[in-house]
Amino acid sequence: MSEKIDRRKPPKPAMGGKMAGMMAGDRAKDFKGTFKQFVRYMGNYKFSVIVVMLFAVVSTIFMIVGPKILGNATTLLAEGIMGSFTGSDEGIDFDGIARILLTLLGIYIISSLFSFLQGFIMTNVSMKLTYRLRKDISEKLNRLPLKYYDGTTNGEILSRVTNDIDTLSQSLNQSLTQIITSITQLIGILIMMLSISWQMTLIALGILPVSFIFVILVVKKSQKQFTAQQKYLGKVNGHVEEMYGGHQVMKAFNGEEKSVETFDEFNDKLYVSAWKSQFLSGIMMPLMMFVTNLGYVAVCILGGYFAANEVITIGDIQAFIQYVRQFTQPITQVANITNILQQTAAAAERVFEFLNEPEEIPEAENALTVNTTDEPDTELNVHIGGSVQFAHVHFGYNDDKVIINDFSANIPQGSKIAIVGPTGAGKTTIIKLLMRFYDVQDGAVLVDGYDIRDFKRKDLRSLFGMVLQDTWLYSGTIRDNIRYARPDATDEEIERAAKAAQVDYFVSTLPGGYDMVLNEETNNISQGQKQLITIARAILANPKILILDEATSSVDTRTEILIQKAMDNIMQGRTSFIIAHRLSTIRNADMILVLNEGNIVEQGNHDELMEMGGFYEKLYNSQFEVN
C-alpha cells in the first residue's frame, strides 16, 4: 500500500468541521436579484431572444404606420366627396385609394409574418428553458442532502417542479414579447402623434401621470398577495399529496376532521390571497379604460376644432384618434404584465431558492473507488473486505443538539453486529452515518480503515445492502423491483435471490408470477410480501455489508423463522448490522451494541450481557413482562 493510502487510514482521526460548508442562512426575498439570476439563466438563448426582440419591433413598426396610411385614404375620400359637392374636382380618386389600401394590406401581411415568427421562436425558447429547469431540478434532487428532505414536504417540492415552472414558462412565452411590443408601440405611436399635432399629443400625454399613479397603487397592494398566493398554493399541494399518500393511516386514526381543518386553513389563506391578487389585477383594466376615455374625449374636441380651422386634415384626425386608442393599449398591457411579472417573480424565486439549496459536500477529484476486479489495489482503487470502525463519532441533526456522543466501535470483517436500545437512542442514526446519508460533525466512520468521506458516494453505497422497516417499491413488475439492486442481473439470478428470501413460494400463487405489476400504491400485495421482496433485492445486490433495520417486523412468525435461516446463510462472511426491537431475534449475534441516549452503555454477546445484569438485561426481560 502506498504512503498516500496509509495517510487515509488514521488510527484516530478528528474530522470536525466537515459539515460547516453545508449550512446556509435564510435568504432574504429579492425580486430584483431573482430576475437577474433568471436573465443569466437565459444566457444560452440570448441570440434567439435578440431575434425575437428584433422581429417584435419590426412587426410593431409596420402596425404603427398603418393608421397614418389609412388616414391618407380617408383624406382622399373626403376631398373627393367635397370636390363633388363644389364641382371643383374630378371626384373621388378611387385608383389612389386602391393603391393606398393595397399598400396597407402588404404592410399588415408583413407585420403578421414577423409576429408569427417571433411567436414561434419565443415558444421554442420558453419550452427549452422549461425543459432545462425541470432537468436541473431533477438532477438537483439527487445532489441534495437527506437533511433537506427531512425538512421539506414532497408536495412543496412537487409544487416547485410543476406550478412554479409552468408559471415561468407561460410568463416568458407571453410577457417578454408583450413588453417589447408595448415599449415599441409607445415610442412609435408617440412619434406618429407628434408628426400630426403636438398640441393634441400633449393632451394625450396628460393621461400618463394619472395612469402611472393607478399602476403604482395597484402594484403596491398586489405584490405581497401574489407572493402569498404562490406560498399557500405550495402548502395546499403538499397537504393534499401527504393525505393522499397516507390516506389509510389517516382513516385508521380518524384523522379526517383534522385533515380537513388543516386543508381548510391553507385553502382559506390561498383563497384570500388569490382573490385579492386577482381582484387587484382585474381592476387594472377598468381603471385604465376610464382614464383612456377621458383623454379620448379631450382629443376629439380639440381635433374637431383644428379640422374646422383647416389646421389638420380629416384623415389626420382619424389617424390620431386611432393612435390615441392604441396609445393606451401598451400602457394597459404594461400594467397587466406588471401584475404577471410579480407572480412570475414569486415563482422564479421559489425555483431558484431550490436550485441554490446547499448540496452534499462535493467528492474530491482523487476520491477512492472500490476495486471489483482481481487486479491488485492501486492508490485510488482498493479492495474492501467489510470491517467497520467508528472513531469518536459526534453527531446531531441540529448543531445545538448532539444525539451521538463520542461513539467508538471496532467491527471485524464478517461480524454479525446487533444494535439495540430504546426508541430515540440513535440506532437508525448510526446506520445513516454509515451509509453517509449524513456526515459526522466530529470523529470519523471508516471502512477497512478508509474514511468513508474519501470514497465516491456511489462506490461507498455499492458496498451496502439495506432492508428497512419501511418498504420501498415502485410501480412495476415484481421482477423489476428485485432487479433494481442490479440492473444487469439475469432472470435466473433474480429467481435465485427470490428463493433465498422466501419470495418464490408466494409469487407462484400470484397472477403473472414475477411479471405481476405492482400498482402505484403497491397495495395489491401484503406488507409482509413487500418486505420479502426488499430482502430479495438486498440478496441480489450481493453486498459486502448488510444492514437490516427491523427487516422481519412485518412478517408472521413462520415466515420470520424461514427468513432468519436464509439471512443467516447470507450473512456468512459478510459484516452485518441488525437493528431489532425483538431482542430474541439477535441472540446469536457476535456482538451486541447497547445504545442509550447516543452512547454505547454496554457491548458483548447475549450471554455476556445477560450475566452483567445491566441495561441490556432489563431491556431483554422487559419484552416478556406482563402488566
Say yes or no to pLDDT of 383 above 60: yes
Supply the pLDDT for residue 9: 45
Give the closest residue to 436 by CA, choosing from 464, 407, 472.
464
Taking the C-alpha atoms of residue 542 and residue 463, their distance in angstroms, rounded to an integer, is 9
Mean pLDDT of the chain: 79
Which of the pair, 436 or 329, is modelled with greater confidence?
436
Give the closest residue to 48 by CA, choosing from 130, 134, 123.
123
Give the mean pLDDT of 203-223: 76
E-state strands within 247-380: 369-370
Label residue 85 exposed, middle or buried (CB < 10 Å: 0-12, 13-18, 19+).
exposed
Supply the pLDDT for residue 447: 92
Give the mean pLDDT of 579-601: 79
E-state strands within 453-532: 464-467, 476-477, 517-518
Give the mean pLDDT of 250-260: 80
Which of the pair, 367 or 570, is modelled with greater confidence?
367
Say yes or no to pLDDT of 202 above 80: yes
Say yes or no to pLDDT of 399 above 60: yes
Give the closest residue to 352 by CA, choosing from 40, 97, 25.
40
Supply the pLDDT for residue 16: 34
Supply the pLDDT for residue 559: 66
Taking the C-alpha atoms of residue 179 and residue 330, their distance in angstroms, rounded to an integer, is 8
Give the mean pLDDT of 47-60: 86
Supply the pLDDT for residue 29: 63
Give the closest residue to 441 by CA, choosing from 6, 17, 1.
17
Supply the pLDDT for residue 18: 31
Q: How far, CA to CA in Å, does 209 sit from each of 292, 294, 297?
A: 12, 13, 17
CA dihedral 237, 241, 247, 251 (to 10 degrees): -30
Work out the end-to-end distance of the chain between its first and last CA atoms, rounded to an integer number of angstroms. Answer: 59
DSSP 166-208: HHHHHHHHHHHHHHHHHHHHHHHHHHHHHHH-HHHHHHHHTHH
Taking the C-alpha atoms of residue 619 and residue 595, their distance in angstroms, rounded to an integer, is 11
Give the mean pLDDT of 395-400: 80
Say yes or no to pLDDT of 525 above 80: yes
Confidence of residue 554 (pLDDT cuts 50, 70, 90): low
Give the mean pLDDT of 464-473: 81
Which of the pair, 411 or 203, is modelled with greater confidence?
411
- Taking a C-beta distance cutoff of 8 angstroms, is the pair 405, 599 a contact? yes
Give the mean pLDDT of 399-420: 84
Give the mean pLDDT of 151-177: 79
Taking the C-alpha atoms of residue 537 and residue 611, their distance in angstroms, rounded to an integer, is 38
CA dihedral 605, 608, 614, 616 (to 10 degrees): 20
- Among 279-283, 387-391, 462-466, the range scoring the smallest mean pLDDT is 279-283
Confidence of residue 220 (pLDDT cuts 50, 70, 90): confident
Q: What share of the chain is helix, strand, coil (3-state, %, to 5)?
A: 65, 10, 25
Supply the pLDDT for residue 446: 92
Instruction: State the Cα angle at 484 between 478 and 487, rounded to 5°.
Output: 115
Taking the C-alpha atoms of residue 103 and residue 95, their distance in angstroms, rounded to an integer, is 12
Supply the pLDDT for residue 173: 75
Three-state SS for 248? Answer: helix
CA dihedral 314, 319, 320, 325 (to 10 degrees): 130
- Among 193-197, 466-470, 512-516, 606-610, the range scoring the smallest mean pLDDT is 466-470
Q: Tens digits of per-residue pLDDT, 84-115?
A: 666 555 667 778 778 888 988 888 899 899 88
Say yes or no to pLDDT of 319 above 60: yes
Supply the pLDDT for residue 73: 75
Q: Could you tell me what percent of the chain has a pLDDT over 70?
A: 89
Confidence of residue 444 (pLDDT cuts 50, 70, 90): very high
Three-state SS for 390? Answer: strand
Give the closest residue to 41 by CA, choosing from 143, 123, 125.
125
Give the residue carrying C-alpha cell 397587466: 336
Supply the pLDDT for residue 82: 66
Say yes or no to pLDDT of 66 above 90: no
Strand partners, 592: 418, 604
Which of the pair, 226 or 515, is modelled with greater confidence?
515
Which of the pair, 83 or 527, is modelled with greater confidence?
527
Three-state SS for 2? Answer: coil
Say yes or no to pLDDT of 35 above 50: yes
Say yes or no to pLDDT of 297 above 50: yes
User: Looking at the whole model, is its pTM more than 0.75?
Assistant: no
- Which grid cell is 620? 431483554
Q: Is the dihedral of CA 117, 123, 128, 129 positive or negative?
A: positive
Supply the pLDDT for residue 562: 66
- Taking a C-beta distance cutoff of 8 angstroms, is the pair 273, 228 a contact? yes
C-beta contacts of 584-592 below 8 A and 24+ residues apart:
584/623, 585/552, 585/560, 586/418, 586/420, 588/416, 589/416, 589/417, 589/418, 590/415, 590/416, 590/417, 591/411, 591/415, 591/416, 591/417, 591/418, 592/417, 592/418, 592/419, 592/420, 592/616
